[in-house]
Amino acid sequence: MIKPEDVVLYKKSGEPGFATTQKNRTSILIRRLIGEAIEVRATDVHIEPESKRVRIRARVDGFLRDMAEYDHESGSRILSAIKVLCDLDITRKNRMQDGSFSGVVRGRPVEFRVSSVEEVFGDKMVIRILETEPEIIDLKRLGLDVKTETDLRLFLTRPQGMLLVSGPTGSGKSTTLYSLLREVDRKQRNVIAIEDPIEYHLEYMTQIPVSPKHGVTFATALRNALRQDPNILMIGEIRDSETAAIAIQSGLTGHLVFSTVHARDSVATIYRLLDLGVEPFLVANVLNMTLAQRLVRMLCRSCKVPHDPDEVKIRPLGRYVKGRIYSPKGCERCEGTGYRGRTGVFEIVRVTEKMRDMIVEKASEDVMRKVAREEGMQPIHIAAMEKVNDGLTSLDELERVLG
Ligand SMILES: [Zn+2]
């Protein structure tokens, strides 16, 4: 829960929005509202005077929901204070005004764009919230199925082991890793992340930026981190033999290791470690899970339209239509795109005993893929098709992302 004291606001000029000693009710109300809005991932906050009250609503995932309501006196104090924050003219009536202010919420910078328009019962104000650093998504919202989410939570409680995520740039790998780290009991475990660059911030976590210019590579940073008795290590990427070797050794000696590699799917991810020169028996022993992921756009819920696909065309691809599927249309809410928000699609390998034996025996990637399927791995295009069948995304989008 974000408290008013976690929210610091500044005018555009950089001056404090409220004097630090100012503990008045309006300042606290505004900071509480902003904290709550960010907590629920609102993209904007609407302050709307009505005949008997001032209603405050927040837009979350494209939809407005009630947040609070105040009497006219408190409501107009809030409106005036925000106008002052934006250096807007508080006396001017009957016109549209816009401005901005900035803030730091729980240590993360946020920008606010404000527009105010005079309406029947006073000024209606909309505050757009622009997070300048991406948000860490709750594990529940990554787009995982229930079974995988449960398995991942179980993995997080293990004393040692390794989980690898693969996917192209911009496929949400670091979001996934951070969503996992968010769930870890960081207060009681020493968590060290080595990243290039640092994208997110979490409390109770040490973050070391990689800086080859200053001689800090993934491998050197990892060695330094290991001197600090970590329980959990997050390595931004394993892309060289040295890092691979240290990471694997760590995962076998009492550390839980998370990382990403460049590989085209969840099975190829296993082989990436072998390519980097790691002994097969070490890979077999250390790896618990591999995830390959992509992001697909979600259909706009306001305008998606039912769609009857040409099943003859999609069946050979293993894509079965169950129930109603939808196509994008485009409306005001989705700015005509037909899509709003994105979700992850995953291909997950749980490394089983049988697969461990096969890694040691250096089985070929194709044979491994076949066995992985037998052992329960759902190929990513099937996982994506489930999302089409759930009406979350479209066949076009699946084609676009997975080909
Ligand atoms: Zn729409």
pLDDT per residue over 106-125, tens digit each?
888 888 989 998 888 888 99
Closest CA to 48 of 65, 28, 63, 27: 65
User: What is the structure's pLDDT at 263?
Assistant: 94
Pairing state between β 108-119 and 122-131: antiparallel
**pLDDT over threshold 90, residue 96:** no
CA of 75 from ligand 1 middle (Å) equals 32
CA of 116 from ligand 1 middle (Å) equals 25
Burial code (b: 16+ CB inside 10 Å, e: under 16) for 99-110 equals bbbbbebeebeb
Exposed/middle/buried for 334, CB within 10 Å: 0-12, 13-18, 19+?
A: buried
Mean pLDDT, to the nearest integer, of 95-107?
86
User: What is the structure's pLDDT at 33?
Assistant: 94
User: What is the structure's pLDDT at 332?
Assistant: 80
Contact indicator for 233, 247 with CB cutoff of 8 Å: yes
Please write the tens of the pLDDT for every residue from 127-151.
998 765 556 678 888 889 888 999 9
φ, ψ of residue 37 in degrees (nearest 5): -60, -45
User: What is the structure's pLDDT at 41?
Assistant: 74
CA of 340 from ligand 1 middle (Å) equals 7
CA of 393 from ligand 1 middle (Å) equals 13
E strands, 242-324, in order: 256-261, 287-299, 305-307
CA of 83 from ligand 1 middle (Å) equals 32
Please write the tens of the pLDDT for every residue from 155-181.
999 999 999 999 988 788 988 999 999
Please write the tens of the pLDDT for every residue from 175-232.
899 999 989 888 999 999 998 877 677 888 998 988 877 889 999 999 999 999 999 9
Q: Percentage of residues in the chain with pLDDT exceeding 90?
A: 54
Rounded Cα distance between 31 and 306, Å, is 43
Residue 344: pLDDT band (50, 70, 90) is very high
CA of 300 from ligand 1 middle (Å) equals 5
CA of 42 from ligand 1 middle (Å) equals 18
Gyration radius from the chain CA atoms? 25
CA of 61 from ligand 1 middle (Å) equals 12
Residue 394: pLDDT band (50, 70, 90) is very high
Three-class SS state of 75: helix
Closest CA to 296 of 402, 391, 382, 390: 402
Please write the tens of the pLDDT for every residue from 284-304.
999 999 999 998 889 999 999
CA of 389 from ligand 1 middle (Å) equals 19
CA of 323 from ligand 1 middle (Å) equals 21
CA of 167 from ligand 1 middle (Å) equals 28
- Per the model's pLDDT, the better-predicted residue between 13 and 242 turns out to be 242
User: What is the structure's pLDDT at 39?
Assistant: 82
- Per the model's pLDDT, the better-predicted residue between 25 and 240 turns out to be 240
Q: Which amino acid is at 145?
A: D
User: What is the structure's pLDDT at 2?
Assistant: 87
CA of 392 from ligand 1 middle (Å) equals 13
Three-class SS state of 125: strand
CA of 36 from ligand 1 middle (Å) equals 26
φ, ψ of residue 94 in degrees (nearest 5): 55, 35
CA of 335 from ligand 1 middle (Å) equals 7
List the 256-261 sheet strands across, edge first.
206-209, 191-195, 232-235, 256-261, 161-166, 287-299, 339-350
CA of 324 from ligand 1 middle (Å) equals 18
Q: Is the four-CA dihedral 70, 76, 79, 81 of positive or negative sign?
A: negative
State CA 135 to chain mean position distance.
6
**pLDDT over threshold 70, residue 377:** yes
CA of 331 from ligand 1 middle (Å) equals 4
CA of 307 from ligand 1 middle (Å) equals 15
Rounded Cα distance between 247 and 234, Å, is 10
CA of 387 from ligand 1 middle (Å) equals 18
CA of 202 from ligand 1 middle (Å) equals 34
Mean pLDDT across the chain: 88
Please write the tens of the pLDDT for every residue from 260-272.
999 999 999 999 9
Categorise residue 58: left if φ over 0, alpha if ψ from -120 to 50, beta otherwise. Answer: beta
Domains of the chain, first to last: 4-131 (3.30.450.90), 139-402 (3.40.50.300)
In whole angstroms, how far apart are CA 394 and each of 153, 167, 211, 385? 29, 21, 41, 9
User: What is the structure's pLDDT at 108?
Assistant: 81
Does a cis peptide bond (omega within 30 degrees of 0) precede residue 197?
yes
Please write the tens of the pLDDT for every residue from 21-79.
456 888 899 999 999 998 877 889 999 999 999 999 998 755 688 899 999 999 999 99
CA of 329 from ligand 1 middle (Å) equals 6
Mean pLDDT, to the nearest integer, of 359-364?
96
User: What is the structure's pLDDT at 316?
Assistant: 65
Residue 336: pLDDT band (50, 70, 90) is confident
CA of 328 from ligand 1 middle (Å) equals 8
CA of 305 from ligand 1 middle (Å) equals 10
User: What is the structure's pLDDT at 282?
Assistant: 97
